[in-house]
Structure 1
Amino acid sequence: MKPSTKGLFAFAAAFALLISTVVWLGREPSDGRVTVTVRLWDKQVAAAYRTSLDEFERRHPQIHVELRLVAYTNYAIKLRTDIAGDGADDLFWVDGTYFANYAEAGKLRSVDDALGAEAKAAWAPAVVEQFSRNGTLWAVPQLWDPGIVLYYNKALLAKAGVGADELAAASWDPDPAKDTFLPLLRELAASGAWGLGAFEDLQGTIMPFVGSAGGQLQDGDRFAFENPKAQGALQYIVDLVNRWHVAPSAGDTNLNPGFTLDQFLHGNLALFESGPYTLATIRQNAAFDWGIAVAPAGPAGRVTVTNGISVALNARSPHPEAARETLAWLGSAAGNAPLGESGAAVPAVTAATASWTEHWRGLGVDTGPFFAVQARIPAPRGARYSAAAQAGKPILDEMFLGRLPVPEAVRRYDETANAITSP
């Protein structure tokens, strides 16, 4: 998922980062330098970090920064174990679903304390909000997915007689009289390909539809799928699969979340709904002309989900001041810009975001649609989110297969997930 955020949601994602459990990326420090360690899980971002931190070391010759790359599949478990044993790195990546565990346990030094409450003004507000609890920010935003878009196959659109402008103007609605998106999908499917890769993907499918319906996934930390607007959105998605057959079968996608991307890359899918984390993969592997359009608006407008990754400061770092200096650098425009300059991720430091758009503009890609959203549904959160989502997944599997009615599925999902999130 996505080099930056594919592991953030338990609903779906193909995790293909086949690297060793721990890889150290750095040089042996000279005598007398303080070594600060930074833990993360993304190989491409690690390379950009190395460029950034080489400059940091030039400016701070008394500090050496060592990167420790941990495979995503082991990351959360190993971090939990190391934090419990007071053996975690000075700085480490966290996602929006489990940072609260460590904040509540006193394992993190708040950003407000380390860098000052005014520092957060420099970072993407949506990511600041995601990593805040009760008004306190607990990690410095590093990268984010500003919005979800429709990647489209130009040849398949032309074959169906669907124009890119027509696609960008389309909106979905449970009321057939107002729905202009489904007719386009049916035209695309009639030309011999699936219309849309709608499947059990929280970030790329579920939350954009739920958000643009005016619904929500959670109320605070509690799951709240059982509301009319969310149900209407989920029914629309399920109907795309099982009633209108304009999307691949859940029999394929439930077991293989990467199925729709594969079908898009093989020219069998006209529209693939995803975020910037898929951009490099599509550019490298699509053997056809493709484009990017805004995600369809719904009854509540064009709403998608933003998700971020941030770096936290270990409250028990043996080098608190050197770690704080490194954290401040990673949160600066100069420190964050190499992520965008390499195209690895969208920088979450506002002044550095243009480095990513300029990188892709140089490759002929207009990234404007990623940012063209009217509002954003909050990303998943909560100390027990991952366990709750995993427990509820079999229920969504049955719903997408058409074997469990949507109202029953959301009721059971909320009950199952909230039984885990409740203290």
Structure 2
Amino acid sequence: MKKWLTISIFGIILLSITGFFASFLNPSSRDEKNMVNKSATREQIHLTFWRNSGNGAENKAYEELVSYFEATHPNIVINMVSIVYSDYEIKLRTQIAAGNPPDIMAIDSPNLALYANAGSLLSIDQNMRNKGKIKDIPPSTLKGLTFKGKIYLAPIVESSIALFYNKHLFKEAGIRFPSADPTKPLTWDQVFEMARKLNDRKKGIYGIDPAQGFGDGESPAYFKIPLLWQFGGRVLNENGTSASGFLDSKESLEALQFYQDMYHIYGVAAVEMPPNPFVTGKLAMTVLGSWSLEDLEHNYPNFKLGEDFGVAPMPMEKNQVVPNGGWALGISSKTGYPKEAWEFIKYVTSYEGIKKYVKVTGDIPARYSVARDLPEFNQYPKNIFWQQVQNYSRNRPVTAAYPVVSDAIKTLFEEVGIGGEDVKSSAEKAVEKINTGLNQIQHP
């Protein structure tokens, strides 16, 4: 028995030694085993990513970015959820309030302060400054992603607005086309005179839609606040603590009166217009966003840039200024995987990620390097939008009370434009509403 046991133990030791040397002499076999063992023990990390559902091109671009990121980061899975724009904010805030927010979220930049002030966003300031190559991002863009000196969001694309005009109506009225030079915009007085000549009520043709009609959501604030800026007005003071003396200033009232007169005194703008008036030749001039170029090309292929319509820089008065801002990416303060979430954001908002996104969507890139390397942004008409973003753009007010500001602006322009109400009284009501919201934030 002892002899058998001794022989058995010796055999086991011999086999072990043989196996060790075989492994030593065949390192590839050993490495393969180690890789299998490591991959077996490595758990995949699932990150939830919420964003607003965009058009087909935007959705395709995000899908490609997620697919590439997952292929190069096999231990990270991005569970992307796209939500209809009109429902997005409500659903996101509900999830945050319930303590179950997504790891990564798209935030419309003017709403940044609301989420950062509530502690819902993780500061990515150090990551952006160390690895985000922020010198490649326009300062005005970066300012809109910053709250109390810290960066909370990373941008993919930017936005701007410009004057679109119907070339056929201009030719019929004998009016010279506006300059396409981004540094030589028309003044609002010049645009108004053009609108009066182009206006033909008998034919149902209106001279201009000065600020995208009267819509819902963030559109009214995005398109209408710039008119205040252009006339030298503002919404809030520099510290973002009061609207008094700014939204109701002489300059702001002048802008509001000019806006109202186009509707109620001269009739060159209309509260109600037929469907697609610009495309159908019932609207001579309109202010549209940078994204409209792709929309017009896709939805109205027979209405062609250069043949049927042209684009000019946004009109100015005392100031040449346009809005900027757009959807950017942030990390939830509740995420259990901040490093992995940053890895995803770093890739999507990098030169490579933005270039991939822009090639699909045609949107304005948020990085100098991408715009420089894509010829279309150095050529008409996209050079107009890109140069405006770089040199003449401004953020909507960065304040935790921004939803109140946005709603007050919407109501103000409706009262002035649709209702024809007294400009000064309407502005004073808007100031009171905004100040109440600001006080609630400052003194909860």
Length-normalised TM-score, structure 2? 0.77
Say if 1:142 and 1:330, in contact at 8 Å, map to a contact too: yes
Q: Which amino acid aligns with 2:262?
A: L
2:263 aligned with 1:241: yes
1:228 has 2:250 as partner? yes
Q: Which range moved further: 219-228 or 86-95?
A: 219-228
The equivalent residue for 1:398 is: 415
Shift of 1:334: 0.8
- RMSD (Å) for aligned C-alpha atoms: 2.7
1:122 maps to amino acid: D
**Partners of 1:341 and 1:355 within 8 A in 2:** no
Q: Say whether residues 1:55 and 2:54 are aligned partners.
A: no
Q: Tell me, yes or no, if the aligned pair for 2:158 and 2:363 is still in contact at 8 Å.
A: yes
Instruction: Indicate yes or no: 2:275 matched with 1:265.
Output: no
Aligned to 1:183: 193
* Aligned match for 1:33, one of 44, 49, 53: 44
More moved, 150-159 vs 348-357: 348-357
Match of 1:194 among 206, 222, 242: 206
Following superposition, the deviation at residue 357 of structure 1 comes to 6.0
Alignment of 1:270-309 (within 5 A): 270-286=284-300, 287-288=302-303, 289-300=308-319, 302-309=320-327
Tell me what 1:333 maps to: 351
Q: Is the counterpart of residue 122 in structure 1 residue 136 in structure 2?
A: yes
Cα distance change, pair 46–131 in 1 and its aligned pair in 2 (3 A): same
The one-character-per-residue Cα deviations of 1:130-155 (angstroms, maximum 9, x if unpaired) are: 1211210111112210x311111111
Distance 1:204 1:133 in 2: 19
SS at match of 1:88: coil
How far is the alpha carbon of 1:294 from its aligned partner?
Answer: 1.0
CA distance in 2: counterparts of 1:47 and 1:355, whole angstroms: 22
Going from structure 1 to structure 2, the CA distance change for 1:136 and 1:38 (only over 3 Å counts) comes to same
Give 2:125's aligned residue.
112
Contact 2:154 2:349 in 1 (8 A): yes
Give the 3-state SS of the residue equivalent to 1:311 in structure 2: strand
* Structure 2: distance between partners of 1:91 and 1:48: 17
Tell me the residue number matched to 1:348: 366
Q: Does the CA-based 8 Å contact 1:392-1:417 persist in structure 2?
A: no
Q: Secondary structure at the residue paired with 1:98?
A: helix
Residue pair 1:96, 1:380 contacting (<8 A) in 2 also: no
Q: Are the structure 2 counterparts of residues 330 and 187 from structure 1 closer, same or farther at C-alpha, using a change threshold of 3 Å?
A: same
CA deviation digits over 1:153-197, x for unaligned, max 9? 111111111122468756336xxxxx3222111111149421111
> 1:369 is matched by which residue type in structure 2?
I
- The one-letter code matched in structure 1 to 2:323 is V
Q: Which has the larger radius of gyration?
A: 2
1:245 Cα deviation after fit: 1.0
Total equivalences in the alignment: 375
| Structure 2 residue 384 is the aligned partner of structure 1 residue 369 | yes
**1:39–1:91 Cα contact (<8 Å) kept:** yes
Which deviates the most, 234-243 or 198-207?
A: 198-207
Query: CA separation of 1:316/1:67 partners in 2, compared to 1, >3 Å: closer, same or farther?
Result: same
In 2, the alpha carbon distance for the partners of 1:109 and 1:264 equals: 43
Does the CA-based 8 Å contact 1:342-1:359 persist in structure 2?
no
* TM-score (normalizing by structure 1): 0.80
Rate the CA distance shift 1:261–1:234 in 2: closer, same or farther, 3 A: farther
Separation in structure 1 between the aligned mates of residue 78 and residue 274 of structure 2, nearest angstrom? 39
Shift of 1:360: 10
Aligned partner of 1:419 in structure 2 is 436
Identify unmatched segments of 5+ residues in structure 1: 1-30, 174-178, 253-258
Query: Hey, what does 2:6 align to over in structure 1?
Result: none
Q: Distance in 2 between matches of 1:204 and 1:117?
A: 32
Letter in 2 for 1:100: A
The answer to which of 304-313 and 218-227 deviates more is: 218-227
Give, in angstroms, the shift of residue 90 of structure 1: 1.2
* Contact kept in structure 2, 1:260 and 1:272, CA below 8 Å: no
Deviation (angstroms), 1:359 = 8.4
Indicate conservation of the 8 Å contact 1:231/1:407, yes or no: yes
Question: Do 2:61 and 2:360's aligned partners in 1 also have CA atoms closer than 8 Å?
Answer: yes
Structure 1 residues 309, 354: CA separation in 2 closer, same or farther (over 3 Å shift)?
A: farther
Partner of 2:402: 385
8 A contact 2:110–2:325 mirrored in 1: no
